[in-house]
């Protein structure tokens, strides 16, 4: 019986202000330039708030309510509905500032006992790839994420993903040493070869189990759902459940951006009704069940190694590598400049400066500098 793992990536960045230099000069001319002034100049929080509030209304609140209702409806049945959320720290930070009701709907979902929270970096960042200090910075940002998850949800995650499913053997083994019991990443064709993503694997060099995303089934929902030119349009819950039931393997990891539900695909496309009815349709297939990552690795043993050397790091974006963030000279130069600042930032030992610098490690800043287009 294949276990369906639904995993939703929940994140909003702090977008940079294109008038950064102008605003810094304005503030300096007023006679003072505190760290808070610099942060206000660097980030466009008027835009950030507008985006957050819009997506809260279109996605975060309605989609999470639907999920919670489905969980409550299926509780104690033979086919309980379960999901997993990976929620960045900077997302929660913005929710606490601007939309506390978003935090509350996630808390109600977690309180059902049928939601697994996945650890990630607090800043949804490229911390792991900082030369010389990468794993030290990765550890610090993961621990910071752990603190806010504990504070808001009274929860200790044991499953983990690195930002945007970026992964290699060294990252996996480092995360195992931090105590994690399962790592989630992309099911990349060249890594899998003839093998299927729909099994539990083990990281090369250590023993941590690895779950690999089925990108085809994930992208059917994440990218193709509202594409009227797609030969499978429209995608209904019963059609998708039937595809899942005919997919061989032990586990099917369907992982998408949470904004899929109401923002990337607007409510009028039927995406929220798809989310509402999918658990019902899955429950009608006798060979399917929902599970969380922890449950899957407790039920199924790894069948083989998932071997990704550090010079071939993978992700879930575009060509399944790091090129979406570090593929051009502009991205590489900006990242190198940011990395060079780290020892000085750490030496200052001022939390507000450290936080400002870490917000600049958010992966979205580098993604917005991409000059290529990737496959969907």
**Which residues are catalytically annotated?**
164
| Other CB atoms within 10 A of residue 164 CB | 23
**Whether 56 contacts 102, CB under 8 Å:** yes
Is residue 211 within 8 A of residue 5, CB to CB? The reply is: yes
Strand partners, 314: 167
Cβ-contact 163, 363 below 8 angstroms? yes
- Are 210 and 244 contacting, i.e. CB atoms less than 8 angstroms apart? no
Task: Output the six-digit token pair for 222.
Answer: 């994440």
Kindly report the CA angle at 153 between 148 and 155, in degrees rounded to 5? 90
**Half-sphere exposure in the Cβ direction for 156 (13 Å, CA):** 4
Judging by beta carbons within 10 Å of its beta carbon (0-12, 13-18, 19+), is residue 112 exposed, middle or buried?
Answer: middle
Angstrom distance (rounded) from CA 362 to CA 364: 6
The radius of gyration of the chain from alpha carbons, rounded to an integer in Å, stands at 21
Exposure of 5 by Cβ count < 10 A (0-12 exposed, 13-18 middle, 19+ buried)? buried
How many other CB atoms are found less than 10 A from the CB of residue 254?
A: 22
Give first-to-last CA distance, the chain, whole Å.
29
């Amino acid at each position: 019986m294949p276990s369906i793992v639904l995993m939703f990536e929940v994140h909003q960045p702090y977008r940079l202000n294109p008038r950064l230099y102008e605003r810094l000069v304005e503030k300096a001319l007023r006679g003072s330039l505190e760290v808070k002034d610099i942060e206000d100049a660097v980030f466009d929080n008027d835009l950030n708030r507008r985006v957050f509030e819009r997506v809260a209304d279109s996605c975060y609140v309605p989609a999470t309510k639907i999920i919670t209702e489905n969980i409550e409806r299926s509780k104690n049945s033979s086919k309980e509905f379960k999901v997993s959320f990976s929620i960045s720290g900077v997302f929660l930070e913005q929710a606490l500032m601007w939309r506390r009701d978003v935090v509350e709907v996630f808390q109600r979902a977690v309180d059902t006992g049928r939601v697994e929270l996945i650890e990630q970096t607090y800043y949804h960042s490229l911390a792991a790839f900082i030369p010389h200090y990468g794993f030290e910075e990765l550890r610090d940002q993961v621990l910071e994420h752990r603190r806010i998850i504990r504070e808001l949800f009274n929860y200790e995650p044991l499953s983990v993903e690195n930002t945007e499913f970026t992964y290699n053997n060294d990252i996996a083994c480092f995360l195992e040493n931090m105590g994690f019991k399962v790592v989630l990443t992309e099911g990349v064709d060249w890594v899998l070869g003839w093998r299927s993503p729909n099994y539990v694997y083990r990281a090369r060099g250590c023993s941590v189990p690895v779950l690999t995303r089925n990108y085809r089934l994930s992208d059917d929902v994440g990218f193709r759902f509202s594409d009227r030119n797609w030969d499978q349009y429209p995608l209904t819950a019963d059609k998708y459940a039937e595809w899942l039931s005919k997919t061989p393997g032990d586990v099917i990891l369907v992982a998408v951006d949470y904004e899929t539900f109401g923002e990337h695909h607007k409510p009028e496309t039927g995406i929220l009704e798809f989310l509402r009815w999918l658990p019902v349709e899955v429950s009608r297939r006798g060979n399917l069940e929902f599970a969380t990552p922890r449950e899957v690795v407790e039920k199924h043993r790894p069948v083989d190694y998932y071997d990704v050397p550090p010079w071939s790091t993978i992700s879930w974006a575009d060509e399944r590598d790091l090129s979406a963030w570090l593929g051009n000279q502009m991205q590489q130069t900006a990242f190198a400049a940011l990395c060079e600042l780290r020892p000085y930032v750490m030496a200052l030992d001022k939390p507000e400066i450290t936080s400002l610098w870490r917000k600049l490690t958010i992966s979205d800043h580098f993604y917005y500098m991409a000059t290529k287009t990737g496959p969907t």
